[in-house]
Structure 1
């Protein structure tokens, strides 16, 4: 079946293509009621559906934003997207979601696609590998707001959790339970400012309570390969009484390894994770966590973006969203 075009609607209604286009865009000022009705009937009779992409390419404003995330299936990310979508609906906007699977090349292509679709702005959890490209789009007039990760601190508009305070509070909680050998398990944080702030919070809490930092208690995890050191080696050499993990996948891997080694939580070792675990309250031993508020981060990111699109603010803006500490049975006093 041939696709119905705008010219088909115009011919059916006996009007010009320009008049039919004006009708679709709600411009009725100089259009008679009879003309409006003929066009309406033509649209209904032909089952005409406007092409939103074609209309966007011509419009100065599309009421559409793009959202670029690293893993759309993630518990944190899905909550952010819900916040973005809910706020967009309230404001009469649509959101286009692009998933990168942590691939900088896919991220670059996603930016290009959204720019070509003439979205009004973009919310992005950036890989940090496309900073120049992102800045180029900003120079061309694209409004961009970052969330989740701050890389080198050059991100002009960004919404984040208050990572430093959250890590400080969690570490101090473990210290007050009597733990002095707290193993901080993290991804590499040297080139990611927001990850480094978690480390700073951890170190600050140790310092406040007169505990010297032991580099052996800082352990690393990679997405592709997992823990750099075996659990057995960490327990023997670092001798932690508690683990403080900085990412949900790290917590899950550590839980699996502790279970395989028949190590009892919290009798043998305490565990506190960054990011809540879905249905954690139903675990045999519910895990204590630092809980972010990704839904609110989605709301605030969208609010900031739409304010910038409307021209209400041109100043650089950074917001920190508070986290909360959920104390469960995985941490015990020693």
Structure 2
């Protein structure tokens, strides 16, 4: 295949290379309509495609953003990426997506790789383990917007769900159904603000309705090791919560497996409300109530904020909070 060069376009149009370059970069101010028409015809006739790498070296603009996610196959993450893509379609930017599989070392390599690829900005669901790298890039002029998870509350630009309000409303819903023993099942949240906000919403609802908080009803789950203690300890009918409020999709699915193995019926034996949508949960024999994150909107707003910051680098830091939606189904009943 013959490689068409800018000189070929210039020769076909009967203009200089500089004029073709101005046309390709949208600078038509001093170009006659006839010249513009001839250059366009030459580009179309020769099927000329500009070299984006060469153009970026001249203009310092790649029109690329980097996206770093923890699990590209995740239900909410896939919708987040779609939101990014939908906003990019309204701009001149494209996205490069890196998947870390929850590994901080892969995350660090992804940050450096995207920087070497000369992206103009990055979106990242950070592990919290590479703060020094992220801070260094920001100080060097890289535009970075974090999303989905907040660690210490010092993130400069972030788009996040209103986790605390969502957890309060979900717990309140269960309380109004008569539940006073609500199991809160979560990953460790001591060093992650966005997880801690969910717990604080759960606590706030108990305080609002004067229900004593039983800390033994808070159970912990780890991505590598599963539940911190044997769930058999709380499956005893005498101590079993009347409802469980799970905080992550993998927790919800593992708990559903335990219920099935131990012949615990939802909602007859226990109610279940999950934070994060369970794929096709509305089609289960007993549809599961969930707190939905507006993931598409989250991605759309994150991409919008990043690209606006790229175009106007002196903008003040911005924190955008997106409300969640409580979808009540058949897995929660009155007691």
TM-score w.r.t. the length of structure 1 is 0.90
Match of 1:293 in 2: 294
User: Do structure 1's residue 193 and structure 2's residue 193 form an aligned pair?
Assistant: yes
Offset, 1:35: 10
Offset, 1:317: 1.5
Contact persistence 1:53–1:117 (CA under 8 A): no
Match of 2:118 in 1: 118
Offset, 1:229: 2.2
Match of 1:241 in 2: 242
Contact persistence 2:70–2:125 (CA under 8 A): yes
Unmatched 5+ stretches in structure 1: none
Contact persistence 1:57–1:118 (CA under 8 A): no
Match of 2:220 in 1: 220
Taking structure 1 as reference, are residues 35 and 93 closer, same or farther at Cα in structure 2, changes over 3 Å only? closer
Match of 2:261 in 1: 260
Match of 1:283 in 2: 284
Offset, 1:223: 1.2
Q: Secondary structure at the match of 1:185?
A: strand
Match of 1:203 in 2: 203
Match of 2:153 in 1: 153
Work out the CA distance in 2 between the residues paired with 1:325 and 1:26: 47
**Equivalence map 1:85-124=2 (5 Å):** 85-124=85-124
Match of 1:65 in 2: 65
Contact persistence 1:10–1:39 (CA under 8 A): no
TM-score w.r.t. the length of structure 2 is 0.89
Taking structure 1 as reference, are residues 166 and 39 closer, same or farther at Cα in structure 2, changes over 3 Å only? closer
Work out the CA distance in 1 between the residues paired with 2:4 and 2:100: 35
CA RMSD for the aligned pairs?
Answer: 2.6
Work out the CA distance in 2 between the residues paired with 1:26 and 1:10: 16
Contact persistence 1:76–1:294 (CA under 8 A): yes
Taking structure 1 as reference, are residues 209 and 59 closer, same or farther at Cα in structure 2, changes over 3 Å only? same
User: Do structure 1's residue 318 and structure 2's residue 319 form an aligned pair?
Assistant: yes
Offset, 1:56: 2.1
> Alpha-carbon deviations, 1:175-200, whole Å to 9, x = none?
12111111100011010000000011
> Alpha-carbon deviations, 1:5-56, whole Å to 9, x = none?
55676788898765654454345646996798479648744x5433223322
Taking structure 1 as reference, are residues 13 and 314 closer, same or farther at Cα in structure 2, changes over 3 Å only? closer
Work out the CA distance in 1 between the residues paired with 2:187 and 2:45: 57
Match of 1:142 in 2: 142
Work out the CA distance in 2 between the residues paired with 1:118 and 1:223: 33
**Equivalence map 1:23-62=2 (5 Å):** 23-27=23-27, 29=30, 37=38, 41=42, 44-45=45-46, 48-62=48-62
Offset, 1:169: 0.9
Contact persistence 1:57–1:117 (CA under 8 A): no
The number of residue pairs the alignment matches comes to: 333
Q: Secondary structure at the match of 2:235?
A: helix
Contact persistence 1:248–1:275 (CA under 8 A): yes
> Alpha-carbon deviations, 1:201-259, whole Å to 9, x = none?
11111122222222221111111222222322232385211110001111111111111
Taking structure 1 as reference, are residues 227 and 30 closer, same or farther at Cα in structure 2, changes over 3 Å only? same
Greater Cα shift, 299-308 or 168-177: 299-308
Work out the CA distance in 2 between the residues paired with 1:53 and 1:315: 31
Offset, 1:145: 0.8
Contact persistence 1:217–1:238 (CA under 8 A): no
Work out the CA distance in 2 between the residues paired with 1:199 and 1:105: 29
> Alpha-carbon deviations, 1:79-136, whole Å to 9, x = none?
1111111112112322222211112122122222222222221111111111110011
